[in-house]
Amino acid sequence: MPALNSPRLYFISNGWLENDVALNVALHNQGTADFPNRAAEWHRVPSISILIQHPTLGWILIDTGSHDEAMNGRWPEKPRKGSPLVRTTDDLLGARLAQVGLKPADIDWLILTHLHLDHAGGLYHFANTKAGSRVVVHEVELRQALYEVFVHNEEFKNAYLRSDFVGLSGINFEPIYGDTELADDITLLFLPGHSAGLLGVMVHLANSGTFIFMSDAAYVAANYGPPVRQPGIVYDTVAFQASCEKVRWLERRYNAKVIFGHDPQQFATLRQSPEFYD
């Protein structure tokens, strides 16, 4: 294959989560005097990883989806019933990587947008690999995730599953401390709010322009607005708003396509791996 001179961007499906819409958009169907008992609404949202083939950095994977055994005993009852995961064997991370001719050891950089169980659950695949030796995560996210699962000694707390990221031999974290340029055409963006230290990714492509992947800084288009609408689960509401507005300035500046973390309508419009954007 001839050498790449511009990045390629792949959107990978890690399967689907089912949950109450109110988890993604707070008060989406609020009761009123006329209709005091409005029903909850259940929907299905995609779980997404991003893969970038970069001319100088190599293969960059952003997020790992959920553990292969998530619904087979790995997840405790709360997430298993509150946001069950629906997927086929094709959706497993190993299979998705194989579809583009890769295995975990071929990944050069692994970046976790945050450590929630549907993003960090596949971290164990990278034990004793190059990417696993320097897993990029925001320092604040790592601190908060450890705080959550250790302070009350809970295996599962606020969407963090301790065994996803604690006690994995052959995994080391390389914390970053704010917006970080990995190369001229790829920048990690600090977008706290949904979680304490969430990272998004902005990548400039030669033919397809600029993409900004917000991860769960906005689950769905309704969160991003404008106006910004809070999700049902949020670590810091003021920061959530500020992160959305930060992305909106970048969207204007670069005429960027903004990609949300779990938006079923938007995901259906995207090219999916092994197809890519360049």
Query: CA-CA distance, 7 to 29, in Å (whole number)?
Result: 41
Stretch of residues binding Zn ion (CB under 5 A), selected from 31-39, 127-135, 203-211, 215-223? 215-223
Q: How far is the CB of 264 from Zn ion (least distance, A)?
A: 16
Taking the complex as a whole, the smallest distance from the CB of residue 116 to Zn ion amounts, in Å, to: 4
Site for Zn ion contains 8 (CB under 5 A): no
# binding residues, Zn ion (CB under 5 A): 2
Residue count (the chain): 278
Give the residue with the Cβ less far from Zn ion, 53 or 66.
66
Q: What is the dihedral of CA 186, 187, 193, 194, to 10 degrees?
A: 20
- Of 31-39, 74-82, 133-141, 214-222, the segment contacting Zn ion by CB under 5 A is 214-222
Closest approach of Zn ion to the CB of residue 20, in Å: 15
Distances (CA, A) of 23 to 83, 135, 188, 252: 9, 28, 26, 29
Q: Select 198 or 256, whichever has its Cβ closest to Zn ion.
A: 198
216 binds Zn ion (CB under 5 A): yes
Binding mask 155-194 for Zn ion (x = CB under 5 A): ----------------------------------------
Closest CA to 171 of 136, 141, 199, 195: 136
**Which bin fits 92, alpha (ψ -120 to 50), beta or left (φ > 0)?**
beta
Q: Which residues contact 65 (CB under 8 A, 6 or more apart)?
A: 12, 14, 15, 47, 49, 91, 92, 93, 118, 119, 121, 122
Nearest distance from C-beta of residue 217 to Zn ion, angstroms: 9
Choice between 113 and 273, CB closer to Zn ion:
113
Check if the beta carbon of residue 201 is closer than 8 Å to that of residue 186.
yes
Binding region for Zn ion (CB under 5 A) out of 48-56, 77-85, 99-107, 213-221: 213-221
Considering the rule CB under 5 A, would residue 116 count as an interface residue with Zn ion? yes
Q: Which of residues 32-51 bind Zn ion (CB under 5 A)?
A: none
Output 213 or 276, the one with its CB closest to Zn ion: 213
Looking only at residues 224 through 253 of this chain, which bind Zn ion when binding is defined by CB under 5 A? none
* Angle in degrees, CA 253, 264, 198, rounded to 5: 55
The partner residues of 86 in beta bridges, in order of sequence, read: 16
Of all helices (H) and strands (E), which one includes residue 144? helix 139-151
Q: Which stretch binds Zn ion (CB under 5 A): 67-75, 98-106, 129-137, 211-219?
A: 211-219
Contact 171, 123 (CB under 8 A): yes
Closest residue to Zn ion: CB criterion? 116
**Smallest distance from Zn ion to CB 184, Å:** 29
Give the whole-angstrom CA distance, residue 9 versus residue 152: 40
Contact residues for Zn ion, defined by CB under 5 A: 116, 216
